[in-house]
Amino acid sequence: MKYLISIGIVVGGALLYLLSGSSGNSDIFSGGYYGVLGLTGVLALGLLGVVCYQFWRLRNKLKNKVFGSKLTLRLVLSFTLIAVLPGILIYAVSVQFLGKSIESWFDVRVEKALEGGLNLGRSGLDNSLKELAKKTQFAALLLAEKPSEQYQRALKQMVDEKVAQKAALFTAKGNLIAFSSGDNLRLLDMPDGDALRHVMDKGEYAVIDTLPKGLTLRALAAVNGSGQAGARYILQFTQPVPKQIEADAETVQSVYRDYQELTLSRLGLKRLYAITLTLSLLVVLLTAVSVAFFISERLGSSLEALAEGTRAVAQGDFTGQRPIQSSDELGALTGLFNQMTRQLFEAKHASEQQQREVESAKVYLESVLTHLSSGVLALDDEMRLRSVNTSAANILGAPLQEMQRVSLGQIAERHSLLNSFCHTIIEAFGEMDSGEWQRQIERLSKNGAQILLMRGTRLPQGGEAGYVVVFDDISHLLRAERQAAWGEVARRLAHEIKNPLTPIQLSAERLQHKLCDKLDEKDAQLLRRATQTIVSQVGAMKNMVSDFADYARGPALKLSRLDMHKLIKEVLGLYEANAVHLVLKLEATRSEINGDATRLRQVIHNLLQNAQDALQGVVQPKIILSTEMHNGEIHLRVEDNGAGFPESILSRAFEPYMTTKTKGTGLGLAIVKKIVEEHCGHIALENNAGSGARINISLPLVEEV
């Protein structure tokens, strides 16, 4: 738009200059004035289109409520009024002045003066022509009295006496007889046939000729010759009109002709000049309005740019730099605004850098806390949960991440399993005199009894005042210590008991063999019963000692690649004649593991045997053995519809000598758990919702090649 307006100003100035020059020069006026006028009209239409486009664009800005558009409209109206009102006033005065000036050109006195001057010039030329005609007639009379031999001399004498500048004598047919010239030039202006005929008919002829060298007076007269039967000749005198008189006459005639033309086109001239003035005014006013739009939009655009920058800053965007479009106060204000946004951007960048460092430290701390095996709780000064790590939620078996900003008292009310845990923390911090405390509690979890070792500390007073609780599940540690102790007891019992059992059994059998034949039937029968009792009890003690030995034995596994489904089917083949209904659901798509077939076969036997023992007295006993694959592990599940585990036994079922049977050592599940853990697996048991118990075993599968 800037270049378009600049081009319009340059072209408009050139056209106005050409209009003013054309109106003052008649030749240019008659030749190119209308073309320049047409170009000016086209320029005016173009400027009108530019102004309309600028107005349309301003209207859209007002409609869209662009910041600064109202100020632009006010500035445009102000500039337009400042330009248009004086222009209209000057236009009205100019039109009146132009009309009166053009009317003053056509005064009657001027017209009379021009007519008088023109008539005066014509009268002078006519008088000179009449005088030359008289001289020609008089000379013709003189020549008529002379013989033809003296014509040349007579003509020369007349020229020398300044009667005429050139003298010539022709025959009636136009043939030259004699000629004389006073300017030493032999150029002769021959009369045409009409002039010759007119002289022969009328006897004389006079005319003012317009020749290339100027106006010339020509006079012809008939000469009646004296010889050859009165032959007739034609005498011609020519006399040039003086240059000054010719110029004055031409000037007067030209001015009078132009005056007459102007008189005839007076109304058209007034209209033409009015159109010229109107177009000139339109070009100037439209240019001024267009420039007003441009300047106003520039001012408005500066404010709009500042408004956009302010909105961007309000939204947190400090990267934008507004272009400085002028060197005035608005430009200085834009520069200060850019400096402010740059400083804000640098401050924001520094703040974001610090925030990233804090976030990085926070992520690092969270990563450490997440991978920390101990549970960590952060509490505020009102005992509300501020943050918690993953291990804490896993140890407690509760969604603590969803309980942030909730007090420990409310958590204890919502979750009964966390009651003792939360109250222990509240009481410990309430009774704490020093900065730290440590306690060990036993609580009931989803997986049974759980022993927690808890440590708490109070954070320094200040903006981050609060409490931190760190706790560990030491149930596995205590269980491992207990298992190690039981293993040591079992090893010593197996060693101390196994040695005398064989001699006892052999001695009893030998007594029966030696004394049975020497006693009577009644005593012999008593001896046999006593001996049988001793042998059977010794066998029971041997079995118990074998269980002790198996429990205390170290992990001497013979691992190999085996198919768990195939192993299960082999074991179930021994139970085909069993009265208990066995249901087999082998749904795992993969079942190959690295394991000891003998030890795993013992696991399946123990689980099936325990399930059968639990189904004693059940009307419709049923055992379900199923497998499924999940997360690269095969899950083996053994379910029955018996009475299930008592709640008092459920949490301690894997401890040695923990059993509900009237007979048995209580080492079966302990041995199963030990074998499963030796195979890097996990075992868990639970009661079904209806009736019976469920034992779940997970073992890692062999990775696919």
Residue type, 205: Y
Tokens of 553: 């034995």
Confidence of residue 627 (pLDDT cuts 50, 70, 90): very high
- Helix, coil or strand: residue 458: strand
pLDDT of amino acid 499: 65
Question: How much is the average pLDDT of 406-413?
Answer: 84
**Separate counts of helices (H) and strands (E) for the chain:** 18, 17
- Neighbour tally for 247: CB within 10 Å: 12
Tokens of 358: 């804090």
Confidence of residue 577 (pLDDT cuts 50, 70, 90): low
Least confident of 424-428, 517-521, 651-655: 651-655
Q: Please, are residues 132 and 206 in contact by the beta-carbon 8 Å criterion?
A: yes
pLDDT of amino acid 228: 46
Q: What is the pLDDT of residues 458-514, one digit of tens each?
A: 877 665 678 888 888 777 766 666 666 666 666 666 656 666 777 777 777 777 777
Q: What is the C-alpha separation between 639 and 63, in angstroms, rounded?
A: 77
Confidence of residue 102 (pLDDT cuts 50, 70, 90): low
Q: What is the C-alpha separation between 221 and 134, in angstroms, rounded?
A: 9
- Helix, coil or strand: residue 156: helix
Beta-strand (E) ranges in 129-286? Answer: 166-171, 176-181, 204-211, 214-224, 232-240
Q: Please, are residues 456 and 467 in contact by the beta-carbon 8 Å criterion?
A: yes
Least confident of 18-27, 61-70, 176-185, 538-547: 18-27
Instruction: Tell me the three-class secondary structure of 463-529, residue by residue.
Output: CCCEEEEEEEECHHHHHHHHHHHHHHHHHHHHHHHHHHHHHHHHHHHHHHHHHCCCCCHHHHHHHHH
pLDDT score of 422 more than 90:
no
The residue ranges of every structural domain in the chain are 2-105+265-308, 118-257, 372-471, 480-552, 560-700
Q: What is the C-alpha separation between 9 and 25, in angstroms, rounded?
A: 24
Confidence of residue 215 (pLDDT cuts 50, 70, 90): confident
- Helix, coil or strand: residue 584: strand
What CATH number matches the domain at 560-700, 3.10.20.600, 3.30.565.10, 3.10.520.10, 3.40.50.1100?
3.30.565.10
Return the residue matching tokens 């007579």.
154
Tokens of 656: 């040695």
Confidence of residue 27 (pLDDT cuts 50, 70, 90): very low
pLDDT score of 369 more than 70:
no
Residue with the larger pLDDT of the pair 275 and 411: 411
Average pLDDT, the chain: 75
What is the torsional sign of CA 317, 323, 329, 332? Answer: positive
Return the residue matching tokens 């150029």.
187
Q: What is the C-alpha separation between 673 and 651, in angstroms, rounded?
A: 14
pLDDT score of 593 more than 80:
yes
Which among 274, 361, 351 has a CA at the least distance from the CA of 318? 351
Return the residue matching tokens 């005319």.
207
339 burial via Cβ count (<10 Å: 0-12, 13-18, 19+):
exposed
313 burial via Cβ count (<10 Å: 0-12, 13-18, 19+):
middle
Q: Please, are residues 36 and 19 in contact by the beta-carbon 8 Å criterion?
A: yes
Q: Please, are residues 606 and 668 in contact by the beta-carbon 8 Å criterion?
A: yes
Q: At what angle do helices 475-515 and 668-678 cross, to 10 degrees?
A: 120
**Which helix (H) or strand (E) element contains residue 115?**
helix 108-144
pLDDT of amino acid 481: 62
Confidence of residue 113 (pLDDT cuts 50, 70, 90): low
pLDDT score of 99 more than 70:
no
Please tell me the class of the 118-257 domain.
alpha beta
pLDDT score of 554 more than 70:
no
Question: How much is the average pLDDT of 412-438?
Answer: 80
Q: What is the C-alpha separation between 468 and 334, in angstroms, rounded?
A: 53
Confidence of residue 105 (pLDDT cuts 50, 70, 90): low
Confidence of residue 103 (pLDDT cuts 50, 70, 90): low
Residue type, 135: K
Q: What is the pLDDT of residues 293-339, one digit of tens each?
A: 666 666 666 666 666 667 666 666 666 666 666 666 666 767 777 77
Tokens of 186: 């032999």
pLDDT score of 409 more than 90:
no
pLDDT of amino acid 699: 92
**Shared fold status for 372-471 and 560-700:** no
Confidence of residue 25 (pLDDT cuts 50, 70, 90): very low
- Neighbour tally for 304: CB within 10 Å: 19
Q: Please, are residues 273 and 23 in contact by the beta-carbon 8 Å criterion?
A: yes
Q: Please, are residues 705 and 695 in contact by the beta-carbon 8 Å criterion?
A: no
Torsion of CA 337, 307, 346, 348, to 10 degrees: 150
pLDDT score of 28 more than 50:
no
Tokens of 209: 């000729």
Over pLDDT 70: what percentage of the chain? 65
Least confident of 18-27, 74-83, 134-143, 669-678: 18-27
Residue type, 196: L
Q: Please, are residues 652 and 658 in contact by the beta-carbon 8 Å criterion?
A: yes
Confidence of residue 634 (pLDDT cuts 50, 70, 90): very high
Q: Please, are residues 467 and 379 in contact by the beta-carbon 8 Å criterion?
A: yes
395 burial via Cβ count (<10 Å: 0-12, 13-18, 19+):
buried
The CA distances from residue 528 to 505, 535, 540, in Å, are 13, 10, 18
CATH fold, domain 372-471, is Beta-Lactamase (3.30.450)
Q: Please, are residues 351 and 374 in contact by the beta-carbon 8 Å criterion?
A: no
Least confident of 48-57, 87-96, 483-492, 598-607: 483-492
Can you give the C-alpha Rg of the chain in angstroms?
70
